Structure 1
Amino acid sequence: MKNFLLLLYGITLLSFSSCGEEKNNSSDPLQVSKIEGKQLSVKKSLTEDEEIKSFIDPYKNRIKGEMNMVLSYTGETLSKSDGEYNTAIGNMMADAVMEFANPIFKTRTGNTIDGVLLNHGGIRSKINRGDITTQTAYNIMPFENEAVVVALKGRQVLKMFEYLSRSKRAHPISGMQLILNFKNQIKTARVQGKKIDPSKTYYIVTNDYLMEGGDNMKFFSQRESETFIDYKLRNIFIDYFKKYDTIQPVRDERFIKE
């Protein structure tokens, strides 16, 4: 293996040296005259390079062990298709963000988080009944999105609720309630159990993708400020699973249609 690498290195040096000499002996720019290639098919008969395998295996086994580490348990399979307006898995994710982001935000700013808004499309996998592992957290949130607290005036929060009423998707929320009538019009819109004051500032946790207008959430562009708390959503879910050895999220009345 080492001899092969040395040979390859020597050939590369000779190639560059030849190019340099040719360029010095001619005033014309170098041009590629021909490109040749050969397809090397990957077959089961190919054998592993034992030297490379022995180098990689310790890292591979360490990662595999960490990803398969059991953190929690659920007695039911949780899927984002389980409800039209709110789902057990979405409620769990939004509540986890509220629970773990709020203490950090309060310590840094003295303010408390009023609500959480995530996106239905951001839930990338279901949680199967049984053991919940670190891999589970990566499955439901494979992206590197991080939590960010956005300051919105009440009038923008009302636009947020209008967006939710039109979306017809179970976007996860926490700390808030939205009830629609049979015409999909807003009947009740509350934050922390209270009617929305258009002039008040509310602190809403979302992720950096949505804050920048992802999923057409343009109301976030009219924010007063944003506070990054250096906490990836995936890490929040991992910490949530570590805290609760059994999770039992349910659908509730936070976002419904009468």
Structure 2
Amino acid sequence: MRKHLVWLALASMWACTPSGYHLTNRTAKRIGVDSVAAAADSSVANFLIPYRQGVDKSMSEVLTTSTGPIEKGLPDAPLNDLLTDALLKQASQRYGKPIDCAHLNYGGIRDNLPKGNITIGSVFEVMPFDNQLVVLTMTGSMLQQFLNHFASGHGLVVGGIRLKIHDKQVQSVTFANGRTLQPNETYTVALSDYIANGGDSADFLSNAVKRENMNYLIRDALIDYFRQQGKTGQPLTPASDGRISIE
């Protein structure tokens, strides 16, 4: 045991003693690696072929069709309405009971939907992020703050609700289920975990009455909705119902 301790002490002293070496010069050379400088590895490319074919096949699945391009815009637009209505429907099914309204952050809608076939790939282009569906229970006063927050600069995109905006403040809020916004009542809102976690400066949502994680990607909710629509045999028709108006 003592022998081991002696060796340990010597090793520690040696490690702490300067070796006498120091850096006097350093040179560097940039080596570019791209498709020109480095040829593709055919064995790797061949290995990936079946996986690429599987992804391409999945992304090419036609969910439904549209009679025209479906585009986003402010204060309201066909894509805004379609996506939030789809989210509200799928969220209510997942939740097991009606939800008062749905919200999507405008910046998270990354593309428009095309005329003709709407594929899984189309939905990925619109919603490329793996945001999870969350249901928040809010008081009416918090929901008012939430609506005002997005109406004042971030872009308000909602489903299941109609409202007017005056001087960047939300007024005349009416829900599709007939409810009106009352400060002391509670409401359920389907939205992304990004916003529920305080994204777009919505950190005040940490004080919501209740938070419920649905373990359901918003993108998957949209895919499920469009697939159901496709089974009806009726194409989508781009339209905005004027749920948000500015006075």
Would the TM-score normalized by the shorter structure come out above 0.5?
Answer: yes
Question: What CA distance in whole angstroms lies between the structure 2 residues aligned with 1:210 and 1:256?
Answer: 23
Counterpart residue number, 1:99:
89
Matched with 1:224 is 209
Report the equivalent of 2:79: 89
Checking the alignment, whether the CA contact within 8 Å between 1:154 and 1:199 is kept in structure 2 is: yes
- Correspondence for 2:198: 213
Question: Deviation string for 1:176-215 (max 9, x for gaps)?
Answer: 111135x555441123332222221111111111112211
Query: 1:250 — aligned with what?
Result: 239
Match of 2:179 in 1: 194
- The CA distance in 2 between the partners of 1:46 and 1:219, in whole Å, is 51
**Partners of 1:40 and 1:257 in 2: how far apart?**
54
* 1:52–1:229 Cα change, 3 Å: same
Q: Is contact 1:117-1:206 (8 Å) kept?
A: yes
Which stretch of structure 1 is more off in the superposition, 217-226 or 141-150? 217-226
With normalisation by structure 2, the TM-score equals 0.81
Measured after TM superposition, the shift of residue 48 of structure 1 is 3.6
AA matched with 2:68: E
**AA partner of residue 188 (structure 1):** S
1:159 aligned to 2:149?
A: no
Note if contact 2:69-2:238 (Cα within 8 Å) is conserved in structure 1: no
Flag the 1:31–1:180 CA change in 2: closer, same or farther, 3 A: same
Distance in 1 between residues matched to 2:132 and 2:82, nearest whole Å:
17
> Which string of whole-angstrom CA distances, capped at 9 and with x for unpartnered residues, describes residues 27-55 of structure 1?
73998875654524545596543322221
Q: For this pair of structures, how many residues does the alignment match? A: 227
Q: 1:216: how far off?
A: 2.2
2:54 to 62, 66, 78: 62
Match of 1:145 among 126, 131, 137: 131
Distance change in 2, residues 1:43/1:120 (3 Å): closer
Amino acid at match of 2:122: T
Amino acid at match of 1:190: T
The range that moved more, 156-165 or 130-139, is 156-165
Q: RMSD over aligned Cα, in angstroms?
A: 2.7
CA contact (8 A) 1:91 1:249 kept: no
Cα distance 1:46–1:117, how it changes in 2: closer, same or farther (>3 A)?
closer
Q: In 2, Cα distance between the equivalents of 1:218 and 1:95?
A: 25
With structure 1 as the length reference, what TM-score do the two structures score?
0.78
2:153 partner amino acid: S
Contact residue 115 and residue 173 of structure 1 kept, 8 A: yes
- Aligned counterpart, 1:18: none
CA offset digits 1:93-122 (Å, max 9, x no partner): 10111111112212xxxx531111111111
Written as runs of structure 1 = structure 2, the 5 A alignment for 1:174-189 is 174-181=159-166, 183-189=167-173
CA contact (8 A) 2:135 2:188 kept: yes
Residue identity in the other structure for 1:49:
D
Unaligned runs of 5+ in 2: 1-13
Segments of structure 1 that go 5 or more residues without pairing to the other structure are 1-22
Contact 1:141/1:234, CA 8 A, preserved across alignment: yes
Alpha-carbon contact 1:86-1:254 (below 8 Å) kept: yes
What's the counterpart of residue 14 of structure 1? none
* Overall identity of the aligned pairs, in %: 23
Q: 1:28 aligns with which of 19, 22, 31?
A: 19
